[in-house]
């Protein structure tokens, strides 16, 4: 087990950790606190403020004041970029501290958490540079008018995040909004607020003016709901489940506030019979064990050509049963626990329901015991197979599981993929690139990957359609423009 860095211990010992509002660290207006646990041991690691509508109101007011008065919105683009680059540098310098905090709060192997933190710094730099290079004034050539289109920041942007990639998603979400000149109010998930709170300390250390970045913590039904319906928000971004996404969308709809929804998925991997079966089985096993399967876009429906089905399944089972399950801070761990006991019960409950509905158990999962960490929320990888109508094939489970189906023809495979009500990400695996490209374009989703799954790079748009989201995605130049309001300025000649 890696020892905790003194900075991490000091941060956890500063519990109950306050919220960051208008550059001040403040307790919840109610005085209440909530607890967050180490999923690897089930023990409470810190308490934090149980914010509610009053705290949200204070944070939105602080962000409004900062938008109007701090000069952030009107700073030359280069100067805003300097702040964001300094913040990225500080995130890099504290990578190990942030990685340990993230690992302990989410239950993700510390090495994977390190990758998440690197990605946060990369997001800040990508959008800072995009901001410097993007034109905000475009002349409009229309006879009889001197006209131009300008782009200006909206004002206060609200962000609500889930627990699976807490700080990575903060990086993806707020970097374009800040680079564009907006101010932000962030509500992290109640299961994993710690890395976002530590990040706020770095915002403070870098000297980003007060009120530009605000963090409120609390339950979804109270703090999250209050943020999504706050009349002071000019733009909203929600990442999480479709069920809550609907509620946030409704609240924003009532205020006529544009909202970006990044929701769940039920990604398919279509595997043709010309692949390297061993390598593909390994890659798919890796896709469902990465972050303990708590990945919105991962490959949870495996459609395998009948000729290689048995071999692929056999190899995948061997790969999955040899994954080292353990505490997230143990360097030997390949797959940590799921985030909470509630999540473990959700995963196990789905597997039971799937079997009762007639799915064949290809690899039995269940709770896993990790020596020395009996109270942790561990689950074994599982594979089910059978009818596409099974609940485990239709609904997002969010654990280390996949649902298997055989296919004979390309058309049949595409039809099975597109039965899903989700539309986040799918992959196709084949050496025949004509076929792979054809299938990639025919699968209905925001993202189609070829011969790989879970591919991300700054500059490549990522988003969903159908139940997986709306309102534009993340990580691309379009994302940056989403945080700038277009306005035309016109004079008759
Ligand atoms: P969730 O929807 O339960 O919670 C997400 C956030 O919403 C949390 O901060 C929560 O406190 C808040 N919330 C809960 N009720 C609320 C309400 N009534 N009003 C406002 N906010 C409320 O999701 P989760 O369980 O934290 O995360 C898992 C889900 O997130 C999965 O469906 C996953 O696929 C999805 N996800 C999607 C993406 C993407 O980019 N598309 C990325 C990561 C996760």
pLDDT digits (tens), the chain, 493 positions = 779 999 999 999 999 999 999 999 999 999 999 999 999 999 999 999 999 999 999 999 999 999 999 999 999 999 999 999 999 999 999 999 999 999 999 999 999 999 999 999 999 999 999 999 998 999 999 999 999 999 999 999 999 999 999 999 999 999 999 999 999 999 999 999 999 999 999 999 999 999 999 999 999 999 999 999 999 999 999 999 999 999 999 999 999 999 999 999 999 999 999 999 999 999 999 999 999 999 999 999 999 999 999 999 999 999 999 999 999 999 999 999 999 999 999 999 999 999 999 999 999 999 999 999 999 999 999 999 999 999 999 999 999 999 999 999 999 999 999 999 999 999 999 999 999 999 999 999 999 999 999 999 999 999 999 999 999 899 999 999 999 999 999 999 9
Q: Which residues contact 492 (CB under 8 A, 6 or more apart)?
A: 144, 145
Query: What is the CA(108)–ligand 1 centre distance, in A?
Result: 18
The encoded tokens of residue 40 equal 């690897």
* Distance, first Cα to last Cα, the chain: 73
167 CA → ligand 1 middle, Å:
14
Q: Is the dihedral of CA 365, 369, 374, 378 positive or negative?
A: negative
**Ligand 1 in reach of 296 Cβ (< 6 A):** yes
Mutate-to-test residue for ligand 1 from 52, 195, 215, 220, highest number of ligand atoms within 8 A of CB: 220
What are phi and psi for residue 49, nearest 5 degrees?
A: -65, 135
Contacts of residue 177, Cβ cutoff 8 Å, sequence gap at least 6: 157, 159, 184, 235, 237, 483
Question: Rounded to an integer, what distance in angstroms lies between the CA atom of residue 9 and that of residue 198?
Answer: 12
Residue 369 in contact with residue 325, Cβ under 8 Å?
no
Output the six-digit token pair for 435. 């076929």
H or E stretch covering 36: strand 33-38
Phi, psi angle pair for 303, to nearest 5°:
-105, 115
What are phi and psi for residue 146, nearest 5 degrees?
-100, 110
Residue with tokens 């250390």: 205
Position in ligand 1 atom list of the atom nearest CA 188: 9
State the pairing for strand pair 24-26/19-21.
antiparallel
396 belongs to the catalytic site: no
Strands of 145-153's sheet in order across? 137-140, 145-153, 484-492
Shortest-distance Cα residue to atom 42 of ligand 1:
296
- For residues 125 and 85, give the distance between their C-alpha atoms in angstroms, rounded to a whole number: 6
Catalytic residue among 157, 190, 252, 262: 262
Q: How many Cβ atoms from other residues are within 10 Å of residue 34's Cβ?
A: 18
C-alpha 444 chain-centroid distance = 21
Residue 478 appears among annotated catalytic residues: no
**Contact assessment for residue 163 and residue 66, using Cβ atoms and an 8 Å cutoff:** no
Q: What is d(CA 302, CA 403) in angstroms, rounded to the nearest whole number?
A: 6
pTM of the predicted protein model: 0.97
- What is the CA(130)–ligand 1 centre distance, in A? 28
């Amino acid at each position: 087990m890696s020892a905790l860095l003194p900075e991490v211990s000091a941060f956890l010992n500063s519990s109950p950790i306050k919220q960051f509002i208008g550059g001040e660290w403040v307790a919840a207006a109610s005085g209440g606190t909530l607890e967050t646990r180490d999923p690897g041991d089930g023990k409470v690691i810190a308490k934090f403020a149980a914010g509610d509508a009053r705290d949200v109101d204070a944070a939105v007011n602080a962000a409004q004041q900062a938008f109007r008065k701090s000069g952030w919105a009107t700073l030359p683009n280069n100067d805003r970029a300097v702040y964001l680059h300094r913040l990225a540098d500080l995130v890099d310098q504290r990578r190990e501290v942030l990685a340990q905090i993230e690992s302990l709060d989410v239950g993700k192997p510390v090495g994977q958490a390190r990758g998440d933190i690197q990605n946060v710094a990369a997001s800040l730099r990508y959008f800072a540079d995009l901001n410097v290079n993007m034109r905000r004034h475009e002349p409009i050539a229309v006879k009889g008018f001197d006209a131009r289109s300008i782009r200006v920041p909206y004002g206060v942007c609200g962000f609500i995040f889930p627990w699976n990639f807490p700080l990575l998603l903060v990086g993806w979400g707020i970097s374009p909004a800040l680079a564009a000149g907006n101010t932000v109010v962030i509500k992290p998930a109640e299961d994993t607020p710690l890395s976002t709170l530590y990040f706020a300390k770095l915002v403070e250390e870098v000297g980003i003016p007060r009120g530009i970045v605000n963090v409120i913590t609390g339950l979804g039904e109270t703090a999250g709901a209050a943020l999504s319906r706050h009349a002071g928000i000019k733009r909203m971004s929600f990442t999480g489940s479709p069920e809550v996404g609907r509620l946030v969308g409704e609240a924003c709809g009532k205020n006529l506030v544009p909202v970006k929804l990044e929701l769940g998925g039920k990604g398919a991997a279509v595997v043709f019979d010309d692949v390297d079966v061993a390598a593909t089985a390994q890659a798919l096993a890796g896709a469902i064990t990465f972050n303990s399967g708590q990945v919105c876009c991962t490959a949870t429906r495996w459609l395998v050509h009948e000729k290689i089905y048995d071999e692929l399944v056999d190899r995948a089972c061997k790969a999955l049963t040899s994954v080292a399950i353990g505490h997230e801070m143990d360097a030997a761990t390949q797959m940590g626990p799921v985030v909470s006991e509630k999540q473990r019960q959700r995963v196990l409950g789905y597997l039971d329901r799937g079997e009762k509905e007639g799915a064949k158990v290809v690899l039995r999962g269940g709770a896993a015991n990790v020596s020395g960490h009996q109270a942790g929320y561990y689950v074994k990888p599982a594979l089910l197979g059978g009818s596409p109508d099974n609940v485990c094939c239709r609904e997002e489970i969010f654990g280390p599981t996949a649902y298997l189906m055989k296919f004979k023809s390309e058309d049949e495979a595409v039809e099975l993929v597109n039965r899903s009500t989700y539309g986040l990400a799918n992959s196709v695996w084949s050496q025949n690139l004509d076929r792979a490209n054809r299938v990639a374009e025919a699968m209905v989703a925001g993202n189609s990957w070829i011969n790989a799954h879970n591919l991300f790079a700054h500059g490549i748009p990522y988003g969903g359609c159908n139940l997986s989201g709306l309102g534009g995605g993340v990580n691309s130049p379009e994302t940056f423009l989403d945080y700038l309001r277009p306005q035309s300025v016109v004079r008759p000649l």
